Structure 1
């Protein structure tokens, strides 16, 4: 039975303009070195600059592996719950029905393209953003749509999801930052304890 192995990663740390910082570049280099030991077939990335640059660096660690854009990996809000949790009220304030519908369409396209088995054994890296990572994890776990909220993802953290015909997806690894030294972990979040 063929397995589609998805190595889903959030881009490296970026500045307010969406460009990788020096820290982000170092994070991605370490991630690329980790992925170099795997039989990667393709690297797909979001069209946003921080993901494009991250994918280029990863591709440099994987000679001969195709690197390409996948619009479905763009940063987006995949689902706006009917009843918004109080802690998220400010985040969704002003979000209109049209924006919510557009995000839902991108989320559906993401699942349709990547969250399904392949005809042959494949190993693909998806360089994306925190919310699409959370949406793919929520889907793999068959959790309610609103469950993507609160699934935080560190910069260059590795999540592995496997898809096989006739079985539910397997979440093999989530938000793993073992390739990063402690001072490079959990960037992108506020101050606090960093495991």
Structure 2
């Protein structure tokens, strides 16, 4: 019996290009959310968790509309955050990014991710299918955790809007990464949110 966790980054939010921290989904974000909802419509999800931010909440509700037995539940553990600061192993190229992040934000993000992985990567009994709709850095941290990669590696694990990442655990075995940032449900024009555009 396997415990599956489906990790999805929220859809694009309105006026994101103007630096707004949060907002409703843009028209393109609504299409992205509909696409991931269609993709997951056949999965027997038992729970849909989402970040309390509006863009994640709206993405979660788009999925839940196709799953009448599941109600989306907000979790503060899935808020957008910065899990670490610069470490001795972090490449110097990332220093400008951390220049705008306070020590308090890093401390809070680190504590949040410790709690989040302890909560969601806790083995449940039986066959379990859970969906977490959250943010780029949070998903990067979960993937890094599952792979046992150095802490700074979350910086290199990026997800497109409504990209699908799946991790799983069988009894007695470690967590495994089944797929990362799968975009097969998104047409080319909906593949947004990556720091560098895909070459295909």
* Shorter-chain TM-score tier: over 0.9
| 1:82-129 CA distance string (max 9 Å, x none) | 234222111101534322211110010110111121123210110000
Please say if residues 6 and 130 of structure 2, whose CA atoms lie closer than 8 Å, have aligned partners that are also in contact: yes
- After TM superposition, the structure 1 = structure 2 runs for residues 99-110 of structure 1, keeping only pairs within 5 Å, are 99-110=105-116
The answer as to 2:2 corresponding to 1:3 is: yes
When the two structures are superposed, what TM-score results if normalisation uses the length of structure 2? Answer: 0.91
1:11–1:128 CA contact under 8 A, matched in 2: yes
Taking only aligned residues, the RMSD between alpha carbons, in angstroms, comes to: 1.5
Of 79, 101, 104, the match for 1:98: 104
Pick from 140, 162, 179: which aligns with 2:185?
A: 179
Q: Paired residue for 1:162?
A: 168
Q: Is the 8 A contact 1:118 1:164 kept in 2?
A: no
- 1:193 shift after superposition: 3.7
In structure 2, stretches of 5+ residues that fail to align are: none
- SS of residue in 2 equivalent to 1:26: helix
2:59 corresponds, among 54, 63, 66, to 54
Residue correspondence of structure 1 range 37-116 to structure 2 within 5 A: 37-83=42-88, 84-116=90-122
Deviations 1:13-61 (A, max 9, x none): 1123422100000011011011011111111000101000100111001
**Runs of 4+ more than 4 Å apart:** none
Are residues 1:189 and 2:194 paired?
yes
Residue correspondences, number: 193
| Gapped regions of structure 1 (runs ≥ 5) | none
Equivalent residue, structure 2, for 1:150: 156
Q: How does 1:111-122 map to 2 (within 5 A)?
A: 111-122=117-128
TM-score scaled by length of structure 1: 0.93
State the alpha-carbon separation in 2 of the partners of residues 109 and 11 from structure 1.
Answer: 21
